Amino acid sequence: MHWFNNVPRLVLMLMPLSYGLLGIIPILLNSEAALTLLLPLWGLQVLSLGWLNRGSRTAFLSELTGWVLTVPLTMTVLSNLIGRIGGFRVTPKHQRRDRGSTSVELLLPLLALVLFNLVNLQGLLSNASDLPDQVLAGRPVGLVWGVINLLSLIVAVRACWDPAAKDLAPWQKLQMEAWIEDDGGHRYPCCITALSESGVKIAYSRSPLPWVASSKLRWCQELPALPVILTSKTDTEALLHWGDLARQDRYSLIRWLFCRPGCWVDRQAPQEGRALLALLRRLIAPPKRGPFSPSLIPQHPPARQASTHP
């Protein structure tokens, strides 16, 4: 029964199209009834949701992401009901992607629905002399419903896009003092701003920071100084990859990154309104990912330790 819920969801996605495409009102509701009956009921339901005070995004955003799979799941459910049971396919996850990509099976139905919604809105906004009186009375409701439907479909289309993933290691957001050392006995202070299994991003005030083949990074007592290789740099930042790490050193690094006590931040989702505004900003201006702007997971820095370095 859980998967069958996609069938009425698809029906609700198609219902507002009947206003402009067919000249049929799916729900006999004019503007006055919407304000006096529907709006109070909807507002009461929204106010009763727990996301207002528990930081859970379950009112709107979870529904929007479900739109991505509505058409394929509905077709699968109907195929199973008539006895055409397909095979089970496991798609690979967490793979390296040098370029962004999308799934045609997910994208094409959503693009078709976007096109139908645009035609529907054009029909509602055009000359209304040929529309029946009941359609004219319900046109404001149809316009609001159609606009919400269109925006939701655009969000679903955007969710189909998988950005490039050249580095599969998760990056942790940290702020820690560190030192660049070399075999010549030189030591230069810096600050770690991001850290992962594959590398580290540091900031420094001294420019240019000298780099040699024996350069190593040290930031805590639990780990030895680890060899680093410079991959990118600016006047104030540098992106480093780990050099040839011994197996024990790599194991210790992974344990320090993910298993040290108190490292994980107790994250709470923002209020639904703020989350929706952030979603709209992402639709208008997608974030630019680069070597110096990876997606970061916040972490608590380790307890401050007495430094053994002069």
pTM of the model: 0.71
**Where is 243: in which H helix or E strand?**
none
pLDDT digits (tens, 9 = 90+) for 40-65: 887 777 776 665 556 655 666 667 77
Q: Which domains, from first to last, does the chain contain?
A: 3-162 (no CATH), 168-310 (2.40.10.220)
**Where is 84: in which H helix or E strand?**
none
* Distance, C-alpha 10 to centroid of its chain: 23
Asked whether residue 256 carries a pLDDT value surpassing 90, the answer given is yes
Decide if 191 contacts 178 (C-beta within 8 A). Answer: yes
Quick one: pLDDT band at residue 116, thresholds 50, 70, 90? very high
Q: What is the DSSP letter of 50?
A: T
pLDDT digits (tens, 9 = 90+) for 209-233: 788 888 899 998 889 999 999 998 8
The more confidently predicted of residues 307 and 303 is 303
pLDDT digits (tens, 9 = 90+) for 162-185: 777 777 888 999 899 999 998 888
The predicted pLDDT at position 51 comes to: 56
Q: Give the separation between CA 92 and CA 98, rounded to whole angstroms.
A: 16
Q: CA nearest 294: which of 156, 174, 157? A: 174
Q: CA nearest 10: which of 203, 153, 144? A: 153
